[in-house]
Amino acid sequence: RNKLKRLIAKRPPLQSLQERGLLRDQVFGCQLESLCQREGDTVPSFLRLCIAAVDKRGLDVDGIYRVSGNLAVVQKLRFLVDREGRLDLDSTEWDDIHVVTGALKLFLRELPQPLVPPLLLPHFRAALALSESEQCLSQIQELIGSMPKPNHDTLRYLLEHLCRVIAH
């Protein structure tokens, strides 16, 4: 028992390990707000990298978000992002654009809280049920404006990308 106490007492604090680069916070499964705060941006860099790769070489691919990438390669990409923190999606290792889109979808699925805060969902449904389109649009814009900044900016970035996908 005493040996265990001494061992625990000698253990360096978590913050010390993070400062020395021995321990990194994960990207997948992380709270959006804390990830953005850690990166100093309102849109996660992983999401930006994936979208840039899809914009560059995937807009003409049929079923870009419908077709699944190789799960083992998606998991490898996830591991690299979580452990290494650096990523070059232009590498030939990530030639299959479906792996990139699969990793992006996995990142969004693993957010502890959905991109659209659950408390706002009933309000969005009510706004969509309005018969007058101008009033509906106005309420939706107001609801989106009330979202936390990282959620708002990430949703906007994602939707702008999806508009480019649709346009192709």
- Which pLDDT does position 26 carry in this prediction? 87
HSE of 59, CA atoms in CB hemisphere, 13 A = 12
Over residues 150-168, mean pLDDT: 95
**What is the pLDDT confidence band of residue 22, given thresholds at 50, 70 and 90?**
very low
For range 122-147, the mean pLDDT = 92
pLDDT at 3: 76
Alpha helices (H) along 93-132: 97-109, 121-128
Residue 120 DSSP code:
G
Within its chain, how far is the Cα of 150 from the centroid?
A: 10
Q: What is the pLDDT of residue 10?
A: 72
pTM of the model as a whole: 0.81
Task: Give the per-residue pLDDT at 125.
Answer: 93
Confidence of residue 8 (pLDDT cuts 50, 70, 90): confident
Q: Output the pLDDT for position 23.
A: 47
pLDDT in tens, 54-90: 999 989 998 899 999 999 999 999 999 998 777 889 8
Summarize pLDDT for 32-53 with one digit per residue, the tens.
999 999 999 999 999 999 999 9
Tens-place pLDDT, residues 92-119: 888 899 999 999 999 999 999 999 999 9
Q: CB pairs under 8 A, 24+ apart, for 127-132?
A: none
Give me the pLDDT at residue 160, please: 96
| Residue 121 pLDDT > 50 | yes
Domains of the chain: 24-167 (1.10.555.10)
- Number of residues that make up the chain: 168
